[in-house]
Structure 1
C-alpha cells in the first residue's frame, strides 16, 4: 500500500494525500470507489482523458484546489520553506589522505604490479641473463685467442646495449600514466608521492637484473672491480629508466616514445668515447659526449678493469692512454649517474604536475 497518492494531469494536481484521504475525497465528489475494486486503477480511469468514460478532470482540479487538504499541504510546504531559509549548512571539508599515506599505498601497489606483470621485469630479467651468459661465455677467461684489446668492445656492449634495453619498459610507464591521470582527477593524487613510489618500487627489480648480469659477466670473463661493476651497471639502468619515465610523460603514444628513446640512446652510444675517442670527437659534437650519461658509465667500466693491471700489462696502459682514461674518478662518475637520476625524476615531476592534471 502506498503511503502517499499523487495524481497529476497535464501538470495540474488532481489529488495529493494518503490513500484513506483519497477515498474520502473522491467519495465526497460523488465518485466512490466500487467495492472489491483497486482504488489506484479506479482513480486513474477517472482522470485518463485518452479513453471514453473519464470524469470531469478540470472539476477535479478545482475541487482539490479549494479543499482543506490542499490548504494543509500548502501550509506544510510554506512552513518547511521558512524553516529552511534560516538554516545555514555547515561547511564540510573533505581531507584526502596525506602524501605519506599515498606513498605507502602506491609503493604496495607498484611493487605488486612489478611482481605480477611479467613484462615489467621477468621477461627483461630473462633477456639480461641470457645476454650476460652469452657475453661471459664468449669472453670466457680461458679463451687464449682473446687479447686485452678484445675486452674493450665487450665493456662497450655491456654498458651500451644492456642499458639500451631499458626502452622496453616504456609502454608500461605509459599505462601507469593513464592510471595516474584518472586518480589525480578523482582524488587529487600527490605527484611527489607517485614519483617517489614509482622510483623506489622499481629499484629491487633493477638491482636483481644488475647483480645477476654482473655475476655472469665479471666471474666468467674474469674482470676486475666486481663491486664497481655492479654499482655502475645498477646506476646506469636506474638513470636509463628515469629517462624513460620522462619520455613516457612527454609523448602521446608509446611507439613515438620508443623511437625517441632509441634515438637518444643511439646518440649517447655514438658519443660516449668508444667509437670515437674523446680527443678525436669534433668540437660541434663534443657537447653530446659530456651530456651523455653513457660517457661516465663507460669510462668507469674501462678504468676499473684496466687500471689495476696497467703497471704489469702494456696493452692495458695503452688502452687507457688511447681513450684518455688514465685519471678517471670512478666515485665522481657514480655521483654523476645518481645526479642524472635525480634530474630525470625532477623533470618527470614537472611534466606530470603541469600537463597531466586530469582536467579537460
Structure 2
C-alpha cells in the first residue's frame, strides 16, 4: 500500500487508464458498461499481483508513461523566463465592506432561521411584560407617598432586569455555535474577524429594537406612566440600550471563555453585583464611600437612574415621606433619597450608549484575538 501504480491522463470515460492496464499481459479486459473505477481496483489488487507474479508499482516506474510524467513535472516545476511569483494584492477576495455585507447577510439568514432563539426570547419578553404590567397595574398614577415611588421604582427595575438577563443567557449558545463556524471559515480565508464581529453585533439591533418597542408599549400602558412623547421616548431609549448592553454582555462573556457553559457561569457571577449596586436595593447616598466607585461603573445603576429621572424629574407635586421632618416634592425626594439629579438625563444616555459600545468592542476584540479551538 501507499505506492503509485498509475499517474497520467484518464481520458474520456477513463479509456486511457483502461488501455494502460489492459496492455499488461494477463489482465482481463473490461466488460461492456462496467464501471472503470471498480474494474481498475479489481485488476490491481494484491490478489491480482500474486496471480500475475508482478508488482504494479515497479511496472509503472519502468514504463514510458512514468518517464513522460516525470519529465512533465520537471518542466512545469521550472518557471519560464521573465515570469514572476503568484501575488495577490489583498489577503481576502472581498474588500472589508464586501466581507461585512456578506457576513451581515449570513447572520440575517441565520437569525431568521433560528426560531428557537428569537421566538423564545420574544415570548419570554411578552410574558414578562404582561406579568410586570399586571403586578404593577397602574401604579404610575399613584405618587402621593414615598412608598408609591418605591413601588414605581421596583416596577422600572423589574421591567429591565428580567428581560436583560434573559437576553444575556439566550444569546450565549447562539454566539458559541456561530464562533465554531467562524473558526472554520476564517481558516479557509473567507473573511477577517472584524467584519464578522461587526455583523454579529449589528444583527442584534433590529431584533432588540422590535423587542423593546412592544415591551415598552405594554409595560408603559399597563403601569400607567404619563403619555408624553418625551417621557415615552426616554423610556424606550433607556430600555433599548439596556436590553442591548445585556445582549452584548452575554456575547462578550462567550468571546472571553471557551464555551457557553463557562460563559453562563461567568455572566451569572455579576448578576448579583449588578443588582446590589443598581441603586434600587441600596440607594446611592447610602452606599459606603469605599464602594461608591462600583455604583458608577454598574450598567444597571444607570438604567434605573435613567428610567426614574425620565419620568419624574419634572413632577413638583408634594409627597408624603414617612418619618421625614421636612416636606418633599416628588422631584426633591428622588434627588434627596436616591441621589438622582433631575438634569442628568444627557450624561445617563451617553453612559448607556458607552456601556453598549464597550461590551460590543470587547466582544469584537476577543473574537479577533482569542482562539479557543481544541485542535
Structure 1 residues 302 and 186, CA gap change in structure 2 (3 angstroms): same
Partner of residue 263 from structure 1, selected from 246, 262, 269: 269
Partner of residue 132 from structure 1, selected from 118, 129, 135: 129
Partner of residue 96 from structure 2, selected from 74, 85, 99: 99
- TM superposition shift of 1:256: 2.1
Partner of residue 217 from structure 2, selected from 199, 215, 218: 215
Partner deviation per Cα, 1:219-276 (whole Å, 9 max, x = no partner): 1212141110000000011111111111011112322211221221221111021111
Q: Which residue number in structure 2 is paired with residue 11 of structure 1?
A: none
Structure 1 residues 261 and 38, CA gap change in structure 2 (3 angstroms): closer
User: Is the 2:125–2:215 contact (alpha carbons within 8 Å) kept by the matching residues of 1?
Assistant: yes
Structure 1 residues 101 and 310, CA gap change in structure 2 (3 angstroms): same
CA separation in 1, counterparts of 2:220 and 2:18? 87
Partner of residue 180 from structure 1, selected from 176, 179, 182: 182
User: Is the 1:149–1:315 contact (alpha carbons within 8 Å) kept by the matching residues of 2?
Assistant: no
Secondary structure in structure 2 of the residue aligned to 1:119? helix
TM-score between the two structures when normalised by the length of structure 2 = 0.73
RMSD: 3.7
User: Is the 1:268–1:288 contact (alpha carbons within 8 Å) kept by the matching residues of 2?
Assistant: no
Q: Which residue number in structure 2 is paired with residue 248 of structure 1?
A: 254
User: Is the 2:130–2:218 contact (alpha carbons within 8 Å) kept by the matching residues of 1?
Assistant: yes
User: Is the 2:198–2:364 contact (alpha carbons within 8 Å) kept by the matching residues of 1?
Assistant: no
Structure 1 residues 183 and 81, CA gap change in structure 2 (3 angstroms): closer
Q: Which residue number in structure 1 is paired with residue 325 of structure 2?
A: none
Is 1:281 the counterpart of 2:287? The answer is yes
Q: Which runs of 5+ in 1 are unaligned?
A: 7-15, 27-32
CA separation in 1, counterparts of 2:75 and 2:286? 88
User: Is the 1:246–1:348 contact (alpha carbons within 8 Å) kept by the matching residues of 2?
Assistant: yes
How many pairs align? 322
Secondary structure in structure 2 of the residue aligned to 1:121? helix
- TM superposition shift of 1:359: 9.3
Q: Which residue number in structure 2 is paired with residue 192 of structure 1?
A: 194
* Higher alpha-carbon Rg: 1
User: Is the 2:315–2:329 contact (alpha carbons within 8 Å) kept by the matching residues of 1?
Assistant: no
Secondary structure in structure 1 of the residue aligned to 2:314? helix
Secondary structure in structure 2 of the residue aligned to 1:175? helix
Structure 1 residues 117 and 81, CA gap change in structure 2 (3 angstroms): closer
- TM superposition shift of 1:193: 0.8
Is 1:87 the counterpart of 2:102? The answer is no
- TM superposition shift of 1:138: 2.5
Q: Which residue number in structure 1 is paired with residue 11 of structure 2?
A: none
Partner deviation per Cα, 1:25-46 (whole Å, 9 max, x = no partner): x8xxxxxx9xxx9679xx99xx
Structure 1 residues 199 and 38, CA gap change in structure 2 (3 angstroms): closer
CA separation in 2, counterparts of 1:327 and 1:113? 43
Structure 1 residues 4 and 164, CA gap change in structure 2 (3 angstroms): closer
Q: Which runs of 5+ in 2 are unaligned?
A: 1-13, 31-42, 320-327
- TM superposition shift of 1:165: 1.7
Is 1:168 the counterpart of 2:165? The answer is no
- TM superposition shift of 1:159: 2.9
- TM superposition shift of 1:4: 6.5
Partner deviation per Cα, 1:14-69 (whole Å, 9 max, x = no partner): xx8994xx7xxx8xxxxxx9xxx9679xx99xxx8956xx89x8xxx9xxx8xxxx
User: Is the 1:103–1:197 contact (alpha carbons within 8 Å) kept by the matching residues of 2?
Assistant: yes
Q: Which residue number in structure 1 is paired with residue 152 of structure 2?
A: 151
User: Is the 1:148–1:315 contact (alpha carbons within 8 Å) kept by the matching residues of 2?
Assistant: no
Structure 1 residues 302 and 358, CA gap change in structure 2 (3 angstroms): same
